Structure 1
Amino acid sequence: MKIISTNIGERKEVDWKGTLVTTGIFKYSVERSVFLDLEDVKGDVICNRVDHGGILQAVYGYSLKHYEYWKSVYPNLDFEMGIFGENLTIDDLDETKIYQGDTFKVGETILEATKPRNPCLKLGVRFNDMKIVKKFWNTTFCGVYFKVLQTGLVRSGDEFVQIKSCPENPTIADLYLAERIVKGI
């Protein structure tokens, strides 16, 4: 696997049907290295620290392969890297094959897979369609949150190399499906 794009976003206020929504989901590709710190990606704005960022959700990775599916669902949308709010767009990140606790070396960093990303209102705002939230739940294309075990710089083109596997743990997709059941979705 390798990083296709590193993405960061700024604080943005969006008028969503009469309600002002403050979000950092509008992330865009940058042509420079980004620093993965213990609780976030330096230079990337996180507006909701309850549901994003922190030790277990410091970095969000999403698979470029999933983009093809979403392009078929939203053929008129301009799909820029980072549209799902991911910090790292990775060529082939498969949630059904990544176990909680799996560890990866990328650039100067070491990352540990911790949990799936649950879709929220902000994804609907980004897509200008709240139906994306349910559609997102109905796939296993949730992406992966990572804990940063070793901080450092990463950039597009860096190899994403697995250095530890934890097959005794549930996959990220298993955790996502279990969360869907708990939420009654």
Structure 2
Amino acid sequence: MTTVNQIHLTVSEMNVGGIVAIGSTRSPTGIFKRATAGPWLITNDGLVDDHQGDRKNHGGPEKAIHQYPADSYATWRSEYPSMSSILDEGSAFGENLCLPLMTEENVCVGDIYRLGGVVLQISQGRQPCWKLNLKFDRPDMAWLVQKTGRTGWYYRVIKSGSIEVGSVMELVERPHPDWTIARLNTVIASCSLARDDLSEIAALSLLSESWRSLARRRLQSRVVESWSKRLGQNPQN
């Protein structure tokens, strides 16, 4: 596990996107993001000038900033060379922030980071949706992201402010070192009904309410929710 003083990374770019229509249904999406010049203003809802097409499931205070591991790009290229052209465009997964060294295995729910004049806190992992299938032109892309656990994660904004090129991402507090995003992903994406794990997740006060509610529903119903609508297929069945 990475310790508090080991995460100290410089930010060189951030990605924002407008709303475009995607697929045969012409559904609105903000997944097509591009690097923009700093400085960048961050509010409780995320990056100014960044947009989400589906505000019910994307964006908002608990999903203000999306980060994706830069190291995962090389892994995707190695496993699926045909994806290289899309990966080379940058922000392939619709992320705002992409940094090396930080991965699902070494960041945790509730981690607090200082980045320039902004303070961020990890709120949850990402549950991929079918719009990734369209962007990558693969009917199973959202499922692959979920299956591999290479999902990235979201931040809530503790302190609004501005970020400039050269601002440093620094971990300042880790209240839940046992609950990495990787561990959360494993429980949520594995059809798990393990009572101990789900009870712990439901009690994580710094985890987003939507994920805590998901854990409570599994505990109460003893049934794993269907993923077919979100992923565009239902690989669990």
User: Does residue 1:110 correspond to 2:119, yes or no?
Assistant: yes
Q: Hey, what does 1:93 align to over in structure 2?
A: 102
Structure with greater strand percent: 1
- Structural mapping, 1:14-163, within 5 Å: 14=22, 16=23, 18-72=24-78, 73-75=80-82, 76-78=84-86, 79-163=88-172
Whether the 8 Å CA contact 2:110–2:122 is kept in 1: the answer is yes
SS of corresponding position for 1:105: strand
The TM-score, its normalising length taken from structure 2, stands at: 0.72
Q: Deviations over 1:31-86 (max 9, x none)?
A: 22221210221101111111111121111011111111112214442322211110
**Cα distance, 1:120 vs structure 2:** 0.3
Match of 2:17 among 1, 5, 9: 9
Whether the 8 Å CA contact 2:121–2:157 is kept in 1: the answer is yes
Q: Deviations over 1:136-167 (max 9, x none)?
A: 11212111100100111224432210000123
Moved over 6 A (4+): none
Write the letter of the residue equivalent to 2:73: Y
Matched positions, count: 183
Q: Distance in 1 between matches of 2:81 and 2:40?
A: 29
Whether the 8 Å CA contact 1:8–1:30 is kept in 2: the answer is yes
Q: Distance in 2 between matches of 1:3 and 1:67?
A: 17
Write the letter of the residue equivalent to 1:37: T
Which structure is higher in RCO with an 8 Å CA cutoff and minimum separation 6? 1
Whether the 8 Å CA contact 1:6–1:155 is kept in 2: the answer is no
Q: Percent identity?
A: 25
Whether the 8 Å CA contact 1:4–1:89 is kept in 2: the answer is no
Rg larger in structure? 2
Whether the 8 Å CA contact 1:5–1:90 is kept in 2: the answer is no
Structure with greater helix percent: 2
Q: Distance in 1 between matches of 2:158 and 2:19?
A: 27
Per the alignment, do residues 27 and 125 of structure 1 end up closer, same or farther by CA in structure 2, a change over 3 Å counting?
same
More deviation, 45-54/168-177: 168-177
Q: Distance in 1 between matches of 2:178 and 2:42?
A: 25
